[in-house]
Structure 1
Amino acid sequence: MKEFIKRCLHSSVKVKMIAVVVIFTTAAFAFHSYQAKSTATGQRAGNLTPIVDAYSIKRNDMVRQIELSGQTVPESQVNITAKYSGKITQVNVNLGDQVTPGQLLVMQDTKDVDATLAQNEAALRQATADAIASDVSFDTSYQKAQSDYQLSVSEYQRYKTLYGVGGVSKEALDKQEQQMAAAKSTLDSYTKQIVGGSAASVASKQAASDKERGVIDSLQIQKNDMIMRAPRAGVIGFRQAEVGMMAQPGQELLSIVDNSNIYVDCAVSEQDIGQIAMGTSVSISLESLGKSYTGRVIYISPAMDPKTQTFTVRMSLDNRDDSIKTGMFARTDINVVLRQQTLFVPKEAVVSLNGTNRVFVIDDRNQVSERTVQLGLRNDKYVEILSGVNEGEKVAVTNLSRIKAGMNVKTNDVSQ
Structure 2
Amino acid sequence: MLQEKSNVSVLEPPSEKVPAPAHAAPPKRPSVASRVLGWTGHAVPTILALGAVGALVLVGQRTGWRLPKFSTLMGNTAAEKDDWCEEHSVPESLCVECMKGCMPRGKEYGWCKVHGVSECPLEHPDVAQLPSPPTITQEDLDRARRALAFAPRVENNSKCKLHQRRIQFTSAEAVTRLGIKVSPVSQAPIAETVTANGEIGFDPTLVARLSPRAGGTLWQVEKQVGDKVTKGEVLALVDAAEVGKAKAEFQQALVNLDLKTQTLAKLKELAGLTASEQSVEEAKAAVAEAEVRLLAARQTLVNLGLPVRVEDYTRLAPADVARRMQFLGLPADLAKEVARRTSSSNLIALVAPFDGEVIVREGVAGETVDPAKVLFVVADTRRMWLTLQVRLEDAERIKVGQLVRFRHEGHSSWDTGKVAWVSPAVDEKTRTVPVRVELPNPDGRHHARTFGTAQIVVREEPKAVVVPSEAVHWEGDCHVVFVRDKNFDQSEYKVFHVRKVRPGAKNVTPSGSVTEIIAGVLPGELVATTNSGILRGELLKNNLGAG
The TM-score normalised by the length of structure 2 is 0.41
Match of 1:314 among 438, 454, 462: 438
Q: Decide which of 208, 227, 238 is 2:360's aligned counterpart.
A: 238
Deviation at 1:213, TM superposition (A): 1.4
Q: 2:460 aligns with which of 320, 327, 338?
A: 338
**Matching of residues 148-297 of structure 1 within 5 Å:** 204-224=285-305, 226-231=348-353, 235-243=357-365, 245-257=367-379, 261=382, 265=386, 267=388, 271-273=397-399, 276-277=402-403, 282=405, 285-288=407-410, 291-293=411-413, 295-297=415-417
Percent sequence identity over aligned pairs: 14
2:219 aligns with one of 90, 97, 104: 90
* Equivalent position amino acid for 2:227 in 1: Q
After superposition, the C-alpha distances for 1:310-336 in whole angstroms (9 at most, x for unaligned) are 443334468x5x776554444455667
Closer, same or farther: CA 83–135 of 1 in aligned 2, 3 Å:
same
Q: 1:317 and 1:85 mapped to 2: Cα distance?
A: 35
Query: Do 1:72 and 1:330's aligned partners in 2 also have CA atoms closer than 8 Å?
Result: no
1:132 aligns with 2:252: no
**Does residue 1:63 correspond to 2:191, yes or no?**
yes
Q: CA–CA distance in 2 between the matches of 1:348 and 1:376?
A: 8
Greater fraction of residues in helix: 1
Aligned partners of 2:246 and 2:301 also within 8 Å? no
Structure 1 residue 251: deviation in Å?
Answer: 3.2
Q: Which amino acid aligns with 1:210?
A: E
CA contact (8 A) 2:400 2:419 kept: no
CA distance in 1, matches of 2:439, 2:226: 28
Question: Structure 1 residues 367 and 292, CA, compared in 2 at 3 Å: closer, same or farther?
Answer: closer
What is the letter of the counterpart of residue 276 of structure 1? Answer: Q
Coordinate RMSD, CA, aligned: 5.9
Kindly indicate whether the alpha-carbon contact (under 8 Å) linking 1:117 and 1:220 is maintained by their aligned counterparts in 2. Answer: yes
- Whole-angstrom CA distance in 2 between matches of 1:51 and 1:72: 56
One-letter amino acid matched to 1:343: V
Q: Deviations over 1:35-86 (max 9, x none)?
A: x988xxx9x8479999899996444333224545442759996534225451
Instruction: Determine helix, strand or coil for the equivalent of 2:402.
Output: coil
Matches of 2:466 and 2:228, distance apart in 1: 57
Tell me the distance in 2 between the aligned counterparts of 1:113 and 1:82.
15
Question: Hey, what's the Cα distance between the residues in 2 that align with 1:135 and 1:37?
Answer: 139
For residues 122 and 323 of structure 1, do their structure 2 counterparts lie closer, same or farther at Cα, with a shift above 3 Å needed? Answer: closer
- Any idea what SS the aligned residue of 2:271 has? helix
Q: Which residue of 2 aligns with 1:304?
A: 422
Q: Please show how residues 73-152 of structure 1 align to structure 2 within 5 Å.
A: 78-82=207-211, 84-93=213-222, 95-96=224-225, 98=227, 100-101=229-230, 103-119=233-249, 121-141=251-271
Flag structure 2 segments of 5+ consecutive residues without an equivalent. Answer: 1-41, 67-83, 90-96, 98-164, 169-179, 307-347, 428-432, 486-494, 508-513
Deviation of 1:228 after TM superposition, in Å, equals: 1.0
Secondary structure (helix, strand or coil) at the match of 1:215 reads helix
Q: Check conservation: 1:275, 1:336, Cα contact below 8 A.
A: no
More strand by share: 1
CA contact (8 A) 1:270 1:310 kept: no
Q: TM-score, normalised by structure 1?
A: 0.51
SS where residue 235 of structure 2 aligns?
Answer: strand
Counterpart position of 2:518: 385
Answer yes or no: is the 8 Å Cα contact 2:213–2:305 preserved in 1.
no
